[in-house]
Amino acid sequence: MEEQLFILEELNPSLYCVNARIIAHNFDWSIFKPVEFPYYKAREGFNKQKGNSSCPKERAKEEEFLLFDMSLLETKEPEGTGSNPRGAGRKGEDFFSLLKIFTLAPYYEAEQNAEAIWRRLVQNPDYRLDCGFQNLSDVPAARTLRRFNEIMYIYGLWTEVRKIAVLENMETGIIGSSGSLAVDPTHLDGFAKVKNPAKECKECDKKEICDEVKYTCDMNDIVSKSKNYKVPGVKAALISDPTSELPISGMAFNARVYDGEAEKVLIPLLKQVDEEYPALKEQVDTILADGAFDSKANREACNILNASLLAPINPRNHKEFLATKSRGIARIDKYGVPHCIENYKLHLLTKDTKLNQYIWGCPVFNPDCRIEGLSCSKKDECSPNSQYGRTLRTNKDDYLQIDWENPQHLKSNKKEYCGRTSIERTISRVKRCLPFERFWNRGKKALQAHIDRAILALNMFASAAVRLGKKHLMRSPLQTLA
């Protein structure tokens, strides 16, 4: 590598979090240059805006009107930190210093809120130096950090930063074109009161007749994991590359939204991916998801990326039943799989598209699906004249729980579906290895920014690992890159 890499031996490893310093010195921060000027313009607009309406409903309309014009995301050098020709007032904080504070915070084990990040910044001198602050007196206040985060998520700039990092990893081959994407939602701990009206709504004279009450956090609701485990929280859906196990996009949802609702989860998520990464439509042919997504509406939703859905069977109301009319077959389970009288599962060999039938083979004698070590004591009772054991045909219309286009029991599909668990490992890294399990802010935009920063953190770590020649560690944020 032409650039000089950060050498760990020059520093005392007992004084700082190793990976944070390595990322700070080896990540190419210049790729975020296109966001610098839009941030200064957004900050200028944020400081000038004055909400005249005290009603949250009207204020929400004003905020939509003031949405940032993303056409400003052009590669041009900023002339300064805003239009201030007279140079009046205190100079604003540098964009890259504030950006480094938030992007390095997960690796300094700081919770994702301004106060926790500020405390860690004050306590750790190496953290300050990595962000460009020589002295303790130079550290911005928690209020400044909170305002920076607010500007970034109100105007959608965290999303732009995340997209730049992901596209950079795609161009360098860190995120490859595996031909499939994995999708999975998860819940995060939320600390807002559930359905708590905003202060203005509580004090409003029209609160009894108003049908558009605004809550302090419209994303927070009760997460019901079981009868005895119910906690407030929010929902986030991530989509990742199964090979690199790096997330590329995510979306914020209310905690009560059901995973399988195509109109509320998969359709908006895939539309967002299509808008952010148009080239993926030509590369992706399969969407991997869990059983909650196994529905006709979700299969049709995958057409957004010209892909097909591969999800495990959701048996729903289908029950196991005895197969009394089929020789050698004892029962057919709720997943549509035949079991022989020796209690072996038959293997799906192929499908007959002319007769609309599934063709199943014996795992003991059929060479196309034989399992070494299996033996059968009831062959004479099951298929005495067959060299390959019992072969069974079942009608497509009798087993609607099986996806006819992509049968889940086919050996080739089973192998591909193993990639679905990669998204679960990715979510585990986000929530367990990095401090993104708790959402401290309020509102959909803030939650979207929280998700974007989580995706950004993993992609930055992977980029730094590859630049150091340690690609094998790019999926292990708890492993030191030293």
Kind and range of the H or E run holding 225: strand 221-226
> Does residue 437 share a domain with residue 304?
yes
DSSP, collapsed to helix, strand or coil, labels residue 49 as coil
Res 66 pLDDT > 80: no
Q: Is the same domain home to 187 and 297?
A: yes
Residue 427: the pLDDT is 94
Residue 344: its pLDDT value, please?
92
Q: pTM for this structure?
A: 0.84
Band (54; pLDDT cuts 50, 70, 90): low
What's the pLDDT band for 88 if we cut at 50, 70, 90?
low
Say which residue, 464 or 53, is predicted with more confidence.
464
Q: Is the pLDDT of residue 5 over 90?
A: no
- The answer to whether residue 132 is domain-embedded is no
Q: What confidence score (pLDDT) does residue 466 get? A: 92
Same domain, 189 and 247: yes
Asked if the model's pLDDT at residue 392 lies above 60, the reply is yes
In a domain, 34, yes or no: no
Same domain? For 284 and 368 the reply is no
Answer whether residue 265 is part of any domain. Answer: yes
Statement to judge: residues 277 and 351 lie in one domain: no
Kindly give, in sequence order, each residue whose CB lies less than 8 Å from that of residue 39, ignoring residues fewer than 6 positions away.
95, 151, 152, 157
Task: Select from 376, 402, 428 the last residue of a domain.
Answer: 402
Taking the C-alpha atoms of residue 468 and residue 466, their distance in angstroms, rounded to an integer, is: 5
Q: Indicate if 299 and 387 belong to the same structural domain.
A: no
Q: Which residues, in sequence order, are CB contacts of 272 under 8 Å at separation 6+?
A: 249, 251
Percentage of residues in the chain having pLDDT higher than 70: 88
pLDDT band for position 83 (50/70/90)?
low
Residue 65 burial class via C-beta count within 10 angstroms: exposed 0-12, middle 13-18, buried 19 and up: exposed
pLDDT of residue 48: 78
What local confidence, expressed as pLDDT, does residue 3 receive? 43
Note whether residue 77 is domain-resident.
no
For the record, the structure tokens of 307 come out as 């892909």
- Do 261 and 336 share a domain, yes or no? no
What is the structure's pLDDT at 71? 52
- pLDDT value of residue 2: 41
Q: Rounded distance, CA 21 to CA 107, Å?
A: 9
Range list of H helices, 321-420: 379-382, 411-417
Are 225 and 372 contained in the same domain?
Answer: no
> Which among 373, 402, 431 is the end of a domain?
402
Q: Is residue 261 assigned to a domain?
A: yes
Distance of CA 420 to the CA centre of its chain: 13
As a whole number, mean pLDDT of residues 273-294 equals 91
Residue 186: inside a domain: yes
Look at residue 16 in the predicted model and tell me its pLDDT: 40
The pairing of strands 321-322 and 308-310 is unpaired
pLDDT above 90 for 316: no
Same domain for 264 and 353? no
Where residue 360 falls among pLDDT bands split at 50, 70, 90? very high
> Do residues 205 and 266 share a domain?
yes
Domain count, the chain: 2
Range of the domain at 277: 178-314+419-441
Between 246 and 191, name the one with better pLDDT. Answer: 246
Residue 119's pLDDT band (cuts 50, 70, 90):
very high
In a domain, 185, yes or no: yes
Considering the domain architecture, whether residues 212 and 306 belong to the same structural domain is answered as yes
Q: Are 265 and 185 in contact (CB under 8 A)?
A: yes
Provide the sign of the torsion angle of the four alpha carbons 468, 471, 472, 478, taken in this order: positive
Q: What is the CATH number of the domain that holds 249?
A: 3.30.420
Q: Which residues pair with 229 in a beta bridge?
A: 226
CA–CA distance, 301 with 303 (Å, rounded to integer): 5
Which has more pLDDT, 49 or 102? 102
Averaged pLDDT for residues 311-336:
86
* 262 and 328, same domain (yes or no): no
Q: For 174-225, how does the pLDDT look when each residue is reduced to its tens digit (9 = 90+)?
A: 998 888 999 999 999 988 888 888 877 877 877 777 777 788 888 888 888 7
